[in-house]
Structure 1
Amino acid sequence: MASHTHQEHSGDKLVNAARAALTDAGEQWTEMRADVFAALAARERPASAYDLAESVSTTRGKRVAPNSVYRILDLFVRTNLARRVESANAYVANSHPGCRHDCIFLICDICGQAVHIDDDRLTGALVTAAREAGFADVRPVVELRGTCAACS
């Protein structure tokens, strides 16, 4: 499997790496964005904007609209702070926000866990095939569903 090395972050190091990546992209790290990222990073499974809006509402002590969370999540995906699990319409924090690559999600049909793996050969081959078919600005979305080791 072709891969590359990158530093995986968690806890405060993940928040600091996310803040740095967002500000390096020319965006501001606001309190609301920090709260949404903290709620996302605290999740062990992919979370929807509604799940995150509920968590952030509880943290802030006032209602936060899912539409506001969706806009922040879109920004996080664009700036590589989060990944969207397309088939679940849910999001996961990117544990290495400074590293840009396409990932492959393995999603458990039983517990909902989503694990990402990197295989640059595979995603690169998909991009090449798409370009040869006349497509530009290709973004591979690869999700495999099955049963994780803990559930099998």
Structure 2
Amino acid sequence: MASHHHHHEHSGDKLVDEAGKVLAEAGEQWTAMREDVFRTLAEQERPASAYDIAELVGQKRGKRVAANSVYRILDLFVRTNLANRIESANAYLANTHPGCHHDCIFLICDDCGQADHFDDDSLTGALIEAGRKAGYSNVRPVVELRGLCRDCSS
């Protein structure tokens, strides 16, 4: 049985405000560009690539935004728990509970690209322990399950 965290899910301006607070608490500045990247990422229904985000932010700002800049910001967001990286798709999702640190297990639809997540502390804890027994430290599980979502499988 999965151990479930009780998250404080945020959306819209509340999510953006919470992300700004979390980044500031991490000793980082919440710049206009970082806010634009986060807001754009949070608006996406599916995982988005840095190139997708750069294009959308560029449209909003009325000038080209370099994907390299967006990659650096997204990497910062992943390090500070504001976003999750979907490794197999090289894409990102905004974390709707940025103050909560845990290891998500992602479910990714092979057809439409929808990504959902759930928490199972017993599973991710066992993976961390297996890594430690193998002599690794700072083990961070990245678990992705691929298949078809409810809509695509019906």
Q: TM-score, normalised by structure 1?
A: 0.99
1:27 is matched with 28
Distance 1:106 1:119 in 2: 13
Aligned with 1:123: secondary structure? helix
1:131 is matched with 132
How much has 1:18 moved relative to structure 2? 0.4
2:107 is matched with 106
Distance 2:35 2:137 in 1: 33
Written as runs of structure 1 = structure 2, the 5 A alignment for 1:19-98 is 19-98=20-99
Amino acid in structure 2 at the alignment position of 1:11 = G
Aligned with 2:150: secondary structure? coil
Listed as ranges, the gaps of 5+ residues in structure 2 are none
Q: Which runs of 4+ in 1 moved over 2 A?
A: none
Aligned with 1:55: secondary structure? helix
How much has 1:13 moved relative to structure 2? 1.0
Q: Deviations over 1:124-143 (max 9, x none)?
A: 11000110111111110000
Aligned with 1:41: secondary structure? helix
Q: TM-score, normalised by structure 2?
A: 0.97
Q: Which moved more, 1:2-11 or 1:61-70?
A: 2-11
- Aligned residue pair count: 152
Q: Deviations over 1:2-56 (max 9, x none)?
A: 1221111111111111011000101000000000001100000000000000000
Amino acid in structure 2 at the alignment position of 1:139 = R
Distance 2:5 2:96 in 1: 14
Q: Does 1:120 align with 2:110?
A: no
The sequence identity of aligned pairs, in percent, is 72
